[in-house]
Amino acid sequence: MSENVETRGNQLVNKFVVSLTEGKILGFVTDINVEVEGDEFYFILKMKEIENVGKGQSMFSSEKKMKIRPKDIVNVGPDVIILGEGKVPPLKEIERLNQIVTEYNSLMRELENREKTIEKLKEENYQLKKELEEIQKELRKLQLIKDDFDHLKEQLVRQEGQLEMAREYIRLLEGIRHDMDKLKDDVDKLIQGQLESIVRSIINEELNARGLKKTSFI
């Protein structure tokens, strides 16, 4: 197999295959092999078939293989391989080819628009991820603030409880002090009364001893 055949075969990959005789796009070439039979060689095209072309939607379906002869190729363009089965098609088929080219161009524009849409969605998704990361950071900050607030609240409740206990203790001490003051007054009165009685007794004994009249304390 000559290098020229291999080079020509490589030029057929990643192109749409258009049949003039059938008047339609047969598929999109993804790989190619060369077979030799006797003195002739053939291109074995591995293609993805296209469905719904010209109906506003397009998609690749299952793969298939197609065997062609070099003379079946009418022309090879930058994006399209034109097949004519070794014969020049009639004018009607040429007109059909123009229609196919129009459909192909429409398909390419649609693919380009979809690619732009995909890129736009990727960019929007990237921006949303960044915004989500920022929101998550803010949420983490708010959670830390909430934890600090809960801790402070717990301390305040504990301190408030301790303060209330201190108040109760102070009230208890004040009550005890009041009781102690009353008890002191009672003791002082008792002692004062006892002292007066003792002094009166001593004086009366002294007066009796001297034959004097008893003295009473007012």
Is 179 part of any domain? no
* Rounded Cα gap, residues 72 and 89, in angstroms: 12
Cβ-based neighbours of 15, under 8 Å, separated by 6 or more: 28, 29, 76, 77, 79, 80, 81
Is 59 part of any domain? yes
Is 70 part of any domain? yes
φ/ψ (deg, to 5) at 76? -125, 115
The CATH number that applies at residue 18 is 2.30.30
* Rounded Cα gap, residues 106 and 52, in angstroms: 13
Domain span holding position 51? 3-89
Is 52 part of any domain? yes
How many domains does the chain divide into?
A: 1
Query: What share of residues in the chain are helix, strand, coil (percent, to 5)?
Result: 60, 20, 20
pLDDT of the chain, 218 residues: tens digit per residue? 455 555 666 778 888 888 877 778 888 898 988 888 888 888 899 988 876 555 554 556 678 888 988 888 888 888 888 888 766 555 566 667 667 777 877 888 888 888 888 989 998 889 999 888 889 888 888 888 888 888 888 888 888 878 888 788 788 878 787 777 787 777 777 777 777 777 777 777 777 777 765 555 44
CB 84 within 8 A of CB 101: no
Is 65 part of any domain? yes
Is 110 part of any domain? no
pLDDT score, position 19: 86
Does this model's pTM top 0.75? My answer is no
Is 196 part of any domain? no
Residue appearing with tokens 């305040």: 156
* Rounded Cα gap, residues 133 and 141, in angstroms: 12
Number of C-beta neighbours around residue 56 at 10 A: 8
Is 112 part of any domain? no
pLDDT score, position 194: 77
- Count each helix (H run) and each strand (E run) in the chain, helices first: 2, 6
* Rounded Cα gap, residues 72 and 174, in angstroms: 118
Residue appearing with tokens 């004519």: 84
